[in-house]
Amino acid sequence: MATRAKARAAKPTRPGKPRQYLVDEKGQRTGVVLTVEEYEELVEAAEQLDDIRHLEEGKKVKGKPIPLEEFEARLRAEGKLR
């Protein structure tokens, strides 16, 4: 799943349309304009990658499995999960 999300996020959803950038008074790029669809795809991909990271982190824990709620509480306590 994450591989598809990553590939989807990497490919432009507006083929043939140039990117629009926000620039400062010196002409330096300070931001980019995204469609809502592009933004939502990026957020979804980031969330899926974060889920995978948490899963991999959970696999490293040795011993007895713990409930998801407890694992999330530990991550929150460590500031690793909002």
**pLDDT tens column, 4-36:** 444 444 455 567 778 899 999 999 999 999 999
CA gap 7, 5 in Å, rounded? 5
In this predicted structure, what is the pLDDT of residue 11?
56
CB 22 within 8 A of CB 30: yes
**pLDDT tens column, 25-75:** 999 999 999 999 999 999 999 999 999 998 888 777 777 778 999 989 999
In this predicted structure, what is the pLDDT of residue 14?
63
Q: pTM here?
A: 0.51
